[in-house]
Amino acid sequence: MTDFDVILEGVNKTFPGNVRAVIDFNCEIRHGEFVAMLGPSGCGKTTTLRMIGGLEEVTSGKIWLAGKDVTDLPPSQRNTSMMFQSFALFPHRTVLQNVEFSLKMQGVPREARARRTRDMVEMVGLGPLADRRPHDLSGGQQQRVALARALISEPTVLLLDEPLGALDYNLRQSMIIELKKIQRDTGITFIMVTHSQEEAMSMADKVIVMSDALIQQTGTSREIYESPRTSFVASFIGNNNLIRGTVRSRSGSIVLVEAHGRMFYVRVPDYIAAVHVDREAHFSVRADLMHTGEHPDMANRVEGTYATTEFRGSLETDVFEIAPEVYVSVEQHRGVNDRMYDPGERETICWPADAGVLLEQNP
């Protein structure tokens, strides 16, 4: 059990008025892991983080930190540190004094305190700004002060609630790289809450996707991107096409699904134990695995009517209607010689048999 810095076992939180904020949350987080909790607003991310930090009591379930049951312990006895979205810095203290604060509270002797504070301020890249006050710093610099202040007490776990939420786009991009580097350098376990897929996917070793108070899926970024398990994850992550149909037959790890008057080959991932023939099923196909035009080597083929194109940097997504009100997105790099479509034009769309992934029914 001591392999894990954090274990949550069957954790539930119900607020007065029967608001079920977190339902049966289970996870195991290894020492030094960077975990992201990802999900839409109101799904229970902050509540879960606050329960780990002891700022919120669990309604039922257990929480272990570094092998110790802390379920009933106050925050001061948990050795966690929390970094809030609003950095909550002391405005009248310098960078050094802000960072030093918790060591002072702990009664660390002056010399050791000064050395550790200086090292930490250097590590987050604020050495030259150590004597400034928060209002003389940019948003990104203030964010680093908050990070240094949270890390200085060497917590077992650092809890970060939307740490990049207040930063503009460019700053957020550079802080994504920075934060990941600091996490590696310190080796401290990070649990970060975000509703940004990009932040979660680019920083975390492990992503916990939540919706409606429930964990939908836990896995690496790649697992979640390539094999979404539920329709929620498939629609929330990446540029996935969700298709609903009926399973007609199974042969090994491939099923035939009938949808919109056609048959599609769909891969059954290992974690789906049972497939019921003649029952409704959903599958997802990543937009970048669909191709326009005839591709005889690909098992799946459907005709669609061109609707529109969405531009996203070097990638373009062409949208086709394959049945009344059913659209698929085909994402590709468009070269100068590639075909452009007029609205209403017909086109063939193909994808390989294993590009479609069968989804679990939502719990």
Positions that interact with ligand ATP (CB under 6 A): 15, 19, 21, 39, 41-47, 195
49 or 328: CB nearest Mg ion: 49
Q: Which of the listed partners (ligand ATP, Mg ion, none) does 47 bind, with a CB threshold of 5 to 8 Å by partner kind?
A: ligand ATP
Q: Which of 182/193 has CB closer to Mg ion?
A: 193
Q: Which does 44 bind (CB under 5 to 8 A by kind): Mg ion, ligand ATP, none?
A: ligand ATP
What single string gives the DSSP state of each residue in 104-144?
Answer: HHTT--HHHHHHHHHHHHHHTT-GGGTT--GGGS-HHHHHH
Report, in Å, the least distance between residue 172 CB and Mg ion.
17
Which letter does DSSP use for residue 361 in this model? P
231 touches 359 (CB < 8 A): yes
19 binds, among Mg ion, ligand ATP, none (CB under 5 to 8 A by kind): ligand ATP
Q: Which is nearer to Mg ion, 46 or 81 (CB)?
A: 46
Nearer to ligand ATP, 16 or 187 (CB): 16
- Which option in Mg ion, ligand ATP, none does residue 170 bind, with CB closer than 5 to 8 A by kind? none
Residue 90: which of ligand ATP, Mg ion, none does it interact with, CB under 5 to 8 A by kind? none
Task: Rank residues 17 and 261 by Cβ distance to ligand ATP and give the closer one.
Answer: 17
In angstroms, give the least distance from the CB of 26 to Mg ion: 20
Instruction: Report in angstroms how near the CB of residue 49 gets to ligand ATP at its nearest.
Output: 8
Residue (of 322, 262, 265, 328) closest to 298 by Cα position: 265
Q: Which residues of 114-152 are buried (b: 16+ CB within 10 A; e: fewer)?
A: eebbeebbebbebeebbeebbeebeebbbbbbbbbbbbb
- Minimum distance between the CB of residue 195 and ligand ATP, rounded to whole angstroms? 5
Type of residue found at 180: K
Bridge-based pairing of strands 214-219 and 206-211 is antiparallel
- The residues, any chain, with a CB within 8 Å of residue 166's CB and separated by 6 or more, are 85, 86, 87, 139, 143
Three-state secondary structure call for residue 16: coil
Cα 252 from chain centroid (whole Å)? 32
Residue number with CB closer to ligand ATP (158 or 214): 214
User: Over the range 7-33, which residues count as b (16 or more CB within 10 Å of their CB) and which as e?
Assistant: bbeebbbeeeeeeebbbebebbbeeeb
CB 51 within 8 A of CB 157: no
Name the minimum Å distance from CB 211 to ligand ATP.
9
Whose CB is nearest to Mg ion?
Answer: 46
Comparing CB distances to ligand ATP, the nearer of 2 and 18 is 18
Name the minimum Å distance from CB 162 to Mg ion: 7
Q: Which entry of Mg ion, ligand ATP, none binds 314, CB below 5 to 8 A by partner kind?
A: none
Sign of CA dihedral 128, 134, 139, 145: positive
Residue 146: CB minimum distance to ligand ATP, A: 18
List residues near Mg ion by CB under 5 A: 46
